[in-house]
Amino acid sequence: MYNGGRAGLTFWSPNVNIFRDPRWGRGQETPGEDPAVSGRYAAAYVRGLQQPYGGGGHHGGHTRLKTAACCKHFTAYDLDSWSGTDRFHFNAVVTPQDLEDTFNVPFKSCVVDGRAASVMCSYNQVNGVPTCADESFLRGTIRGKWQLEGYIVSDCDSVDVFFRDQHYTRTHEDAVAATLRAGLDLDCGPFLAQYTEGAVAQRKVSDADIDAAVTNTVIVQMRLGMYDGDLATQPFGHLGPQHVCTRAHQDLALDAARQSLVLLKNDAAALPLSPGTHRTVAVVGPHAEATVAMIGNYAGKPCGYTTPLQGIGRYVKTALHQAGCTDVACQGGDQPIAAAVDAARRADATVVLVGLDQKIEAEGLDRTSLLLPGRQAELVSAVAKAAKGPVILVLMSGGPVDISFAQNNRKIAGILWAGYPGQAGGQAIADVIFGHHNPGGKLPVTWYPQDYLQKAPMTNMAMRANPAKGYPGRTYRFYTGPTIHPFGHGLSYTKFTHTLAHAPAQLSVQLTGHHAATASSLNTTTHLGRVAADVRVSHARCEGLSIPVHVDVKNVGDRDGAHTVLVYASPPAAAAAAHGAPARQLVAFEKVHVPAGGVARVKMGLDVCNDLSVADRDGVRRIPVGEHSLTIGELTHSVTLGVEQLGV
């Protein structure tokens, strides 16, 4: 697209904000609620976009880039418009602890592990300071601690927003000075172009401030080859329209959609359906003929769509289609529910496709409910009651939905969550329903009941629960209440078991330099009568401090399938109580394909300083001394961390 003059080479993606609240309209853009998953995703996404290479030499020691990625939106940005509060005026009050062990984790991985060329600051304030004017964030953390090699950009019109809407500075020129001195390099919008000259004239901004911003931006352009002359002579100069929508790319879209589907319910192994037995299938619901809805937001123009109706139609003799609702909102008394019920009554099986779309959850639009919109639940229940064959419910949504009514309905044999599965979504859904593909996806977010919303205002940024105030906490790491489905849930058409092949039972943490000679490096805290001991990560020898974990995964069913091994760590109870650490935290995960009856060994390594440390209330990373528990499916394993003998 760049070679054809239709695009630039910088893409302001990925969105790696934590999906903290189930109502967030932009949660669909993110990899979910877990910091470890988001961090892995961030680094992989950036590497995939940038594909750094050495061809043609380096620019000032910097690697060349295919395209430039941008990690957004830094930081604690996960509210768009809810109950009178919007992202342009919101001040996110966040503790140092939550910043360190939740909100900033994927951004650190994006920059440190992915080597992203850019980071975008957000609209909101954090603890009273606009993120695009926060020097401790931009210069201190992103460029200082994480060593960003690239530029920092504002979200579009963020500088104007903190001047005009948040009234953070008195004059335009003060806003320019605040953001440039904080470390912003590029303004998405006209604000700096209009007012920087005046800020220089008033000596609020120096030439050096501008030189630094220009340098950080132009170096990325140079790394992209934008000053290297004839495109045809450059490494990617041969790419053109003929490389878009190739069969390989369309097959990849289908494979991605298949892998992402999550099987939530499968009573009595009702799924997969059999084309021989279920020759007539009713395909009903407002998403039965979904096209644009399947690609969510921030998507290009697809090569073509396969709707769910088309996908299912390829497997059966007759597909009886009735929408059941005039649209996804499904409001009003004139909804064609009766026609859908009649189709279900005449079919061998029924597939009901319901959920959300961009009119219900989107950028600038947070949800007010976790229930299905309008009369969709009524449609599902009526169809299930009338159906003579198995009923399969398929949900399209970016965020979680309270489907407890369907989960508890014995007439609904199977439930699939499709997310927004892309251009090939209809084919992927059909392939899973009829067993051509064995589902292996896992939920990236907790699915809460509707009443959770009454206890957790979107404006409360705290991750940890506060029982005294009736605040339930957020995500599987801190919320312990009832769920519709837990984080990581996902069924398969086969069954897997785990056996621990190798993992040490104990490990010693060595201290660095002069810390090895002083007992003060071992911190002790007493909380509710329990004594917790820990070592600051900054005092530990972290290099090579890893715990190997080898797991044998056996497929004990009769179908080949993919399985994701999830490794959770829990710190010593005393440390959890003293520091408010998560009850458990995902620290490693790997997907493996195992044939029926086969065994595959998965080898993972846990970085002690990253994976087994906890953030204290000041945001300082500490390694708890004592017994850590690892949970892998039905397995538990204890690893005791000690500290090498301290000198006197």
Active site residues: 155
Nearest to 392 by CA among 310, 498, 274: 274
Beta strand segments in 397-469, E? 412-417
The structure tokens listed for 126 are 């954090």
Nearest to 421 by CA among 299, 266, 275: 299
How many angstroms from the chain centroid is the CA of residue 338?
Answer: 39
Task: Report the alpha-carbon distance of residue 62 to residue 147 in Å, rounded.
Answer: 13
Cβ burial of 504 (10 Å; 0-12, 13-18, 19+) is exposed
CA atoms within 13 A on the CB side of 319: 20
Assign 464 to helix, strand or coil: coil
Task: Report the alpha-carbon distance of residue 469 to residue 534 in Å, rounded.
Answer: 30
Task: Report the alpha-carbon distance of residue 432 to residue 421 in Å, rounded.
Answer: 13
- Residue 450 DSSP one-character state: T
C-beta of residue 184 within 8 angstroms of C-beta of residue 153: yes
The DSSP H or E segment spanning 536 is strand 530-536
Tokens 């934590």 correspond to: 18
The structure tokens listed for 562 are 């993919």
Beta strand segments in 304-419, E? 318-322, 349-355, 391-396, 412-417
Task: Report the alpha-carbon distance of residue 42 to residue 180 in Å, rounded.
Answer: 26
C-beta of residue 39 within 8 angstroms of C-beta of residue 96: no
Buried b (16+ CB within 10 A) or exposed e, 54-76: eeeeebeebebbbbbbbbbbbbb
Task: Report the alpha-carbon distance of residue 544 to residue 480 in Å, rounded.
Answer: 34
User: What is the CA angle 55-56-58, rounded to 5?
Assistant: 90
Task: Report the alpha-carbon distance of residue 240 to residue 252 in Å, rounded.
Answer: 19
- Residue 515 DSSP one-character state: G
The structure tokens listed for 507 are 């490990």
- β-strand pairing of 530-536 with 621-624: antiparallel
The structure tokens listed for 469 are 């105030």
